[in-house]
Structure 1
Amino acid sequence: MGRRDVEDDDGRVLLQRRSDNGMWALPGGAMCIGEPLPECAIRETEEETGLRVEVTGIVGTYSNPRHVFAYDDREVRQEFSVCFLARPVAGEAGVLTVSDESTDVRWFAPEDVDALPMVAGVRKRVDDWRHGRMPAIR
């Protein structure tokens, strides 16, 4: 699974309000078989926000041994996340749309992020970006 910190020319971060839990999050999702990681980041960001981006770097890699999923088919997996840094392709920063996974998509100044409801893992990724702790290996 990958996440992206998308930053515009004004230093703001792109976040989406998730429709499943109402929390603000980074755009992200699962990689398709045979898809390179940067292409996954570009595709998922466009699917979830309507914004076409280019990958410019990496925020970090994140894993948690206690974050284990057990599925109905008895598959059990521990997931990890690679968080990329990206920016809008020229002329695209104002074109934002919601998807079936979100109720809102907006740009936020770094200082405005603290007040937003966010799960701890997403907050960690955003904070690593805000404080320049890149690449983070967690």
Structure 2
Amino acid sequence: MARVDYLHDPAAPPANSVVPSVVAFVQNDAGEILVIQRSDNGRWALPGGGHDVGESISDTVVREVWEETGIKAEVVDVSGIYTDPGHVMAYSDGEVRQQFSICFRARPVGGEVRTSDETTQVRWISPADLLEYDIHPTMRLRIEHAMDTTRAAPYIG
């Protein structure tokens, strides 16, 4: 299913759903960040996805990282909550989703990098290389906030 992101675009279609979702800023001991290339829009992003009925939000983080990357992760803390109504995602099935995403910091505890139906590539990258990747501005914001460990509280916006 294809996806188009709109950010404060007056031509964006109106949202018709809100789905609680997560993204995981997974950083290894070498300081590298786990990123995926999404199969729905071709952009690079942190792994993540929608919260399912019957699971805790930390279980969602662990499941999504595993499903999309093959990496087993452990949640460390929350770095931000993102609910900008000006960011909507239009899917080819007609759903237009308003952003509602919680970004968690996590650490890898096992597994091997692999792709999935939702990912065309999975990599560990150095933070210094982030500018070389096509990453949506809202995802870049999540990454910047997650890398800033001096914040006293999670970002809320």
TM-score (norm 2): 0.77
Partner residue, 2:100 = 80
Is the counterpart of residue 137 in structure 1 residue 151 in structure 2? no
Report the CA distance between 1:71 and its aligned residue: 8.0
Give % identity.
Answer: 44
Partner residue, 2:52 = 32
SS in 2 for 1:98: coil
SS in 2 for 1:34: coil
For residue 64 of structure 1, the aligned residue among 84, 105, 117 is 84
The 1:48–1:70 alpha-carbon spacing in structure 2 relative to 1, beyond 3 Å, is closer
Is the counterpart of residue 42 in structure 1 residue 62 in structure 2? yes
TM-score (norm 1): 0.87
Partner residue, 1:103 = 120
Q: Which runs of 4+ in 1 moved over 4 A?
A: 68-77
Cα shift readout 1:107-129 (whole Å, capped 9, x = no counterpart): 01111112211111111101112
Any conservation in 1 of the 2:32–2:126 contact (CA below 8 Å)? yes
Partner residue, 1:128 = 145
Task: Letter of the 2:155 partner, please give it.
Answer: A
Unaligned 5+ runs, structure 1: none
SS in 1 for 2:99: strand
Cα shift readout 1:5-58 (whole Å, capped 9, x = no counterpart): 001011111000111222110100011112110000000100000111110111
For residue 39 of structure 2, the aligned residue among 7, 10, 19 is 19
Unaligned 5+ runs, structure 2: 1-20
Report the CA distance between 1:63 and its aligned residue: 1.0
